[in-house]
Structure 1
């Protein structure tokens, strides 16, 4: 009975965290580029119980002490594309297929490309049953400590050092892996045109760096975006252990990747489904609450009433 209290309490804590995650999604319903988070829950490991009798034990079954939130997964399905016509608005549109360990796309026995279907979380299965994820493409940034960050939707600004930065001050990197510096003092964001491959133009001519090379935004392909950690404001970080899943894209020829200027991506949060999930979390929370109340009343009767000497 006391074990049941722990199980119900674990259920309440799980639903509370689920409720908090969904509430945060709803709060960012109108935040451009926001990707909704989905909590993944699982049960605690089974505990095997046995009855000890005169030095021997007889197994009587297993017992689970409840559930917990194992992780929170970011859903990278695109939101609605909103044309703002503002040169400072920038986003990435991509629709990539996964690759194997050697960087090659999955093919059948005849060498034909296999188009893998993905679920809402971006997970799919190859014909051999291998679990794969839909790759995502990001702009590559540096923070104040020159640590790499990633973003898919951003507003462009030029700081006092003539660097191309986001609204939060993160520096955009070029193809050389260094922050982009605009050496033309008269150049403004409104005058910059960004091609679909990320190249910067001014009045139809290439914008070049100090050695005369064309400036192109560095794009990074993350083969498993679920390894990324959200930092806020659409910025993500990936640990050093998972850096192997990141590929810097040199060219975008024949790839379904576009850099769109003058567009902003809306949040991908489904308002109707979120309200259903909120109601579900509340109902399950209340059910576990009633279980605890019932067990508490039963324990009270056991302690205070049963065996009382009249």
Structure 2
């Protein structure tokens, strides 16, 4: 009986986290560059139930497996491209990324699902590389973002919406010296001043992450990477299928209908587990206060 009580309680905690994830997605439906988060659940380690006693000449004494609950293991970001929306602001940028990966056995392009992964016949998982803007926080730490709604400060620094420095290909903060006259950026990220036609300084730092699921979400559309080697961080190569569009921003890729359905499903599942807990509570009350007196 106690096992069932703990199983139902674990289900309630899991559904609460699932509900929180759906709420977070809905709250960021208008956040530029936001990537939808999906809660991943798994069961607790399964218990092998075996037959005790009975016929000793029976070689098969296994009855089966028993799950002892569920846990919300992690939240995974869905890196599917959001809708590119025109803003007409020269300091807004959007990355249109569709980097192809070749299958080493067939030589064909690997087809990825909406989560950005592909599983081969032998179980090998391949993730789709993603392009990010490389920025620097106030502590001098490198961060990565899809939110290209930048702004130019009074002293000419190109900043993110949260005030992080936007970096060039040499990992130096970008300074637009004649920002009053505006500036232009081509589809490869080269910044060109309209006054003299020269790069300022050369190009935006667009980083390619080979293993995007190694990234850690920090909030405000910003990610950090604890192990750059494991994540496969590199600079965008010439000719790769990544284009920069000036005057546009990438919208959130949250599917509002799906998020609302997930939220309502989590509420219903939470209520079902809650009723199970109440049932066990009444059963234990009878066992202690009524059966115990007999």
Tell me whether the two structures share a fold, i.e. TM-score over 0.5: yes
Please list the CA deviations of residues 178-218 of structure 1 after superposition, one character each: whole Å capped at 9, or x if unmatched: 22234x3xx11761101100000122712344xxxxx1111
Shift of 1:92: 0.6
SS of aligned partner of 2:291: coil
Please list the CA deviations of residues 132-191 of structure 1 after superposition, one character each: whole Å capped at 9, or x if unmatched: 111100111111111110112222333355332212221122112222234x3xx11761
Shift of 1:283: 1.1
Distance in structure 2 (CA, Å) of the matches to 1:300 and 1:191? 74
Tell me the equivalent position of 1:252.
238
Q: Is the 8 A contact 1:87 1:189 kept in 2?
A: no
Query: Within the alignment, does 1:138 sit opposite 2:125 as a pair?
Result: no
Shift of 1:64: 3.1
Tell me the equivalent position of 1:153.
147
Q: Select between 269-278 and 113-122 the one with higher mean Cα deviation.
A: 113-122
Q: Which runs of 5+ in 1 are unaligned?
A: 99-104, 210-214
Tell me the equivalent position of 1:29.
29
Tell me the equivalent position of 1:275.
260
SS of aligned partner of 1:42: strand
Tell me the equivalent position of 1:40.
40
2:189 to 190, 198, 203: 198
- Measured at CA, do residues 308 and 190 of structure 1 come closer, stay the same or move farther in structure 2, by a change above 3 Å? farther
Tell me the equivalent position of 2:83.
80
Aligned-pair Cα RMSD in Å: 2.4
Q: Is the 8 A contact 1:158 1:189 kept in 2?
A: no
SS of aligned partner of 1:21: helix
Tell me the equivalent position of 1:122.
116
Distance in structure 2 (CA, Å) of the matches to 1:3 and 1:226? 34
Q: Is the 8 A contact 1:157 1:165 kept in 2?
A: yes
Distance in structure 1 (CA, Å) of the matches to 2:11 and 2:48? 20
Q: What does residue range 146-185 of structure 1 map to in structure 2 within 5 Å?
A: 146-182=140-176, 184=177
Distance in structure 2 (CA, Å) of the matches to 1:5 and 1:190? 68
Please list the CA deviations of residues 250-301 of structure 1 after superposition, one character each: whole Å capped at 9, or x if unmatched: x432x21101110111111111111111111111111111111111111111
Tell me the equivalent position of 1:305.
290
Shift of 1:84: 1.2
TM-score scaled to structure 2, two decimals? 0.89
Tell me the equivalent position of 1:236.
223
Q: Which runs of 5+ in 2 are unaligned?
A: 54-60
